[in-house]
């Protein structure tokens, strides 16, 4: 099993509001997470950092997250805790009101694979060399697509495509969607929308299917996003399962 992660400010933004990590706990379980912060005056980078730091520490301190039901409860609990930390931070620092962050998480153990998300950072798997999106974006535009008011093609350039319907830190409580995913996949990809707004799924799939090492794949995704404009921060967390014993 191999993994790599990277974050880049892109070509337009003067600072990076994303945070990304991949860590193992004592039981060799793996947690991957990407957070895309928002909120000016360094608010976005503070928000994403608080969320990733808290979730990572709670996971690293766990010897084992338990069975699937316990793991789902764990993910919801740590994200709820992170949300409360952000909410309290904005109460104590009025200049940061309006800050928040997306979060997308993958949790891989020897028995199951879970995804969780809030906002518009994305989680994918690769199976039979094909890329499949697992998460569903919490955006106004995605809501309009689901209701049939606009098409997926119209959504790509919609003037309000960045309006989030759900984010960490925006309210005192937040609900995370959790997905129980078939564990028999070749790879897992998490990314901020700085990647998916620049590259379509076929372009991402082509890079990940290429015959280069895992670090080069992650770097190539970021390079390609930057070459196409890099209009936002770009974060990628990628894991290849390989042969398992």
Does 147 or 179 have the greater pLDDT score?
179
Higher-confidence residue of 171 and 55: namely 55
Kindly state the DSSP code that residue 94 receives in the 8-state scheme: G
Predicted local distance difference test score (pLDDT) of residue 73? 97
**In terms of C-beta density within 10 A (0-12 exposed, 13-18 middle, 19 or more buried), how is residue 186 classed?**
middle
- Quote the pLDDT of residue 245: 54
- Which residue is it, tokens 């600072």? 15
Question: Which pLDDT band holds residue 40 (cuts at 50, 70, 90)?
Answer: low
pLDDT of 155 over the 80 cut: no
Neighbours of 128 (CB within 10 A): 7
Q: What is the pLDDT of residues 51-92, one digit of tens each?
A: 999 999 999 999 999 999 999 999 999 999 999 999 999 999
Superfamily for the 2-240 domain? PPM-type phosphatase domain (3.60.40.10)
Q: Is the pLDDT of residue 154 over 90?
A: no
Question: Where along the chain do its domains lie?
Answer: 2-240
Q: Contact at 8 Å (CB) between 1 and 18?
A: no
Q: What is the pLDDT of residues 100-116, one digit of tens each?
A: 999 999 999 999 999 99
**pLDDT band per the 50, 70, 90 thresholds, residue 157:** confident
Q: Look up the pTM and report it.
A: 0.94
Q: Which two tokens mark 35? A: 């957070």
């Amino acid at each position: 099993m191999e993994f790599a992660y990277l974050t880049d400010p892109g070509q337009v933004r003067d600072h990076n509001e994303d945070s990304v990590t991949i860590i193992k706990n004592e039981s060799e379980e793996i947690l991957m997470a990407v957070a895309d912060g928002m909120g000016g005056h360094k608010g976005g980078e503070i928000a994403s950092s608080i969320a990733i730091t808290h979730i990572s520490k709670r996971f690293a301190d766990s010897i084992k997250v338990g069975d699937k039901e316990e793991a789902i409860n764990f993910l919801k609990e740590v994200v709820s805790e992170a949300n409360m930390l952000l909410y309290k931070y904005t109460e104590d620092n009025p200049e940061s009101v309006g800050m928040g962050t997306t979060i997308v998480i993958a949790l891989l153990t020897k028995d199951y694979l879970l995804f969780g998300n809030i906002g518009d950072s994305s989680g994918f798997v690769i199976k039979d060399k094909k890329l499949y999106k697992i998460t569903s974006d919490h955006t106004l535009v995605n809501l309009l697509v689901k209701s049939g008011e606009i098409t997926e093609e119209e959504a790509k350039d919609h003037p309000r495509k960045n309006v989030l319907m759900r984010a960490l830190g925006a309210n005192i409580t937040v609900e995370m969607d959790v997905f129980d995913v078939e564990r028999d996949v070749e790879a897992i990809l998490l990314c901020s929308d700085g990647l998916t707004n620049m590259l379509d799924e076929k372009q991402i799939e082509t890079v990940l299917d290429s015959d280069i090492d895992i670090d080069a794949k992650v770097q190539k995704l970021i390079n390609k996003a930057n070459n196409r404009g890099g209009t936002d921060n770009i974060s990628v967390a990628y894991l290849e399962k390989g042969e398992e014993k």
